[in-house]
Structure 1
């Protein structure tokens, strides 16, 4: 069999018995069959497609017109296109590296990091960053789900988002708790395969509300006296707005943290390794990403200019029934996205409990561990509902590495392409751009944290 690998790498044919799991003891194989990531390997290429869409196309797409307003036309379009190209390239790298060692599958991001950097160093490099992304996204989706439920309520019950402020307003806290309640149930689904239906519904919803956002913006047309200049009037305001917009774009493309875990659900044989169906699904997913991101970003900015809200649906407001429907679609989508990002965390938690603390794998263990995690994310979301600003700050250190350049560093260490070759140059360009994004994007989030903290009252 021929394996797609860089020149100079000799790949030997693995024995058939080693192809799926490598050499593992019966006890380890039994635990693998219980853990959520490696329990089932019967997914098809379309599972890869909608899982990746659900992971990638988050509610952050609705903030891309606002990011465009902070960047302007030339820079904004350049950042969006470069991010799409770079993250598609790094996604391809991760798909290829899933089985870069004959007979072994790296089912988890940190396992590939351990292979590239060493057993201990790989864990310290990958796991903290991956947890910041996955736990952070789950908390943000708790907030997003609660806010979208509240917007739906305000439009349907009050008739107008602003009018609810003068009536018997229901606090955001209660909507976050309502949103979290479904996750106490859904989190008990044992594996990636079990949440396929939820993920498919979420993928359809993401495509639907993205289409509503840009079609409604196009139907509304360009606002009177639309202005495409930067909204800030001072140099510091423009700079911080630019940095914050980079963080928004980085957040929008942060789907790589679950790529290997998704690929782990696909069967692999000598004749048809898992990377073939995985890549087919990933290409379809990225085509859908482009169909969502670019129209929403460009049409939303074209329609509203620098007066666009950080959620383009708020800028639209009318027709009310359509805005209410779109917000409910956002709720359904973030329900699925929460589960996609939570599953690798569940896998980590259960692996530590079973392998390190010697708990017996059981439904009781799963019920307690996962419920505690859902409760934790709900508590943080209620406590800090402006966590999106915190994520822009802390997540900048994790989103950029795990998505934009950590795969490139692992590729250089594993495959060792020839110095000054096309592969070598491509990877180093991605690394430099990713490091700049990692350094600059948290600065805008820090400023937003300071501004929000001045007027925020806990549980108010």
Structure 2
């Protein structure tokens, strides 16, 4: 009797091991430290960088610079905490954000706290990147062929989505490393084009650095919304544990060493991209800058066309980086809960359905600036700015009034304030945009 129970247990554990070896996050642990670098660059330096001059215009010089620098420092600190917590239990790895949440808050509560927020972030990013990809393709087409017949944005979003139906079938993070590397190079390239072209254009003759809104109410809402744009720009935390899960680990050489090395490189690239784009873009155009700096830059035409093409390639990679944890959740649910057999058919149907859903939502609601701010505030602030700090306090229990205790509580308070004010501001932006919007135009 005991041996039959033992056999059943062994069979079940082998079956679960086979499923883990098939799921996207845990199927391959052969990544090098530099995979971590370009995956993190691709995850972080996304469409958000192009909206930073617009965020600066809504914040003004003083508050804008302070918030940019503070965000860089706080998010690097919370990212370090997550890298450290990945293997804090000897012999166990927290391969997914929600697994760390379950360790901190309990089996059920951890899921309910982390999974909805992580899904909002990842699905939200994928929708915004569908819009960005479509808009950049449209801008590329109009720049290359100014006399051609105008094509609706809806069709460009569909063209952008078509590539993802193919790329989404790549099984795991390591299999998209080539796409991610290309995307990371593109992000550095178009960021450099954005600020060098702004310098080339020079400070506009009628440039103004006052707030664009003529009313106090409008200025306050815009100020709040800009917080969300900045939060959106620092958003790699939602996939950091999943990226670290792909790195091999031994007691002598834990995964946090190569992972942290990659993160430092990524954050240097982030600084090189973000600060020049935000400051030079705002300096050149002032409060008249568009919510995507490349739209404000119209000349030289060939360079802006190239930059928009680079954006398209980059957001193709970013979309896949953020979609991979969603595919993992989806496939885990279908295989473990609903007992679907793992295989190519399941992957084809599940992932294609997800790509189609994000495409449809993007075609329906392409309010780029407002979407950035809303998702940035509502979901990115918790998962990036203060949830890692709460987990750190719960798990490590640092001594009251110690440096670690103070640092975490400061991040939590600032993060909660950021979440509320940016969500309010962005919701107002979306409502204003929706008033004049025609569906599928």
Structure 2 length as normaliser, TM-score?
Answer: 0.96
Q: 1:149 maps to which residue? A: 137
Equivalent in 331, 340, 355 of residue 336 of structure 2: 355
TM alignment of 1:326-365, pairs within 5 A: 326-365=307-346
- The two structures, once aligned, show a CA RMSD in angstroms of 1.1
Equivalent in 119, 125, 133 of residue 107 of structure 2: 119
- Output the CA distance in 1 between the equivalents of 2:202 and 2:433: 32
Q: 1:13 maps to which residue? A: none
Moved beyond 3 Å, runs of 4+: none
- Output the CA distance in 2 between the equivalents of 1:305 and 1:100: 47
- Output the CA distance in 1 between the equivalents of 2:66 and 2:190: 24
Q: 1:295 maps to which residue? A: 276
| Matched residues, number | 430
2:76 aligned with 1:101, yes or no?
no
Q: 2:39 maps to which residue? A: 51
Q: 1:317 maps to which residue? A: 298
2:193 aligned with 1:205, yes or no?
no
Once the two structures are superposed, residues 332-364 of structure 1 have per-residue CA deviations (whole angstroms, 9 ceiling, x without a partner) of 000000000000000000000000001111111
Q: 1:142·1:176 contact (CA, 8 Å) conserved in 2?
A: yes
- Output the CA distance in 2 between the equivalents of 1:387 and 1:224: 28
Equivalent in 158, 162, 168 of residue 149 of structure 2: 168
Q: 2:229·2:372 contact (CA, 8 Å) conserved in 1?
A: no
Q: 1:34 maps to which residue? A: 22
Report the Cα offset of residue 388 of structure 1: 4.9
SS in 1 for 2:250: coil
Q: 1:139·1:387 contact (CA, 8 Å) conserved in 2?
A: no
- Output the CA distance in 2 between the equivalents of 1:241 and 1:180: 31
2:63 aligned with 1:75, yes or no?
yes
Q: 2:51·2:369 contact (CA, 8 Å) conserved in 1?
A: no
Q: 2:8 maps to which residue? A: none
Structure 1 length as normaliser, TM-score?
Answer: 0.92
Q: 1:37·1:192 contact (CA, 8 Å) conserved in 2?
A: yes
Once the two structures are superposed, residues 206-247 of structure 1 have per-residue CA deviations (whole angstroms, 9 ceiling, x without a partner) of 000000000111122111132222222211111011011101
Q: 1:184·1:374 contact (CA, 8 Å) conserved in 2?
A: yes
- Output the CA distance in 2 between the equivalents of 1:312 and 1:91: 28
Q: 2:288 maps to which residue? A: 307
- Output the CA distance in 2 between the equivalents of 1:319 and 1:450: 34
Q: 1:381·1:387 contact (CA, 8 Å) conserved in 2?
A: no
Q: 1:443 maps to which residue? A: 424
5+ residue gaps, structure 1: 1-23, 160-166
Once the two structures are superposed, residues 141-188 of structure 1 have per-residue CA deviations (whole angstroms, 9 ceiling, x without a partner) of 0011001000000111116xxxxxxx6321111111100000000000
Q: 2:169 maps to which residue? A: 188
Q: 1:271 maps to which residue? A: 252
Equivalent in 55, 75, 78 of residue 90 of structure 1: 78
Q: 2:132·2:368 contact (CA, 8 Å) conserved in 1?
A: no
Mark the CA change 1:318 to 1:387 in structure 2 (over 3 Å): closer, same or farther: closer
- Output the CA distance in 1 between the equivalents of 2:95 and 2:225: 33
- Output the CA distance in 2 between the equivalents of 1:172 and 1:119: 44
Once the two structures are superposed, residues 356-388 of structure 1 have per-residue CA deviations (whole angstroms, 9 ceiling, x without a partner) of 001111111000000000001011111111265
SS in 1 for 2:21: helix
Q: Which deviates more, 445-454 or 175-184?
A: 445-454
Report the Cα offset of residue 302 of structure 1: 1.1
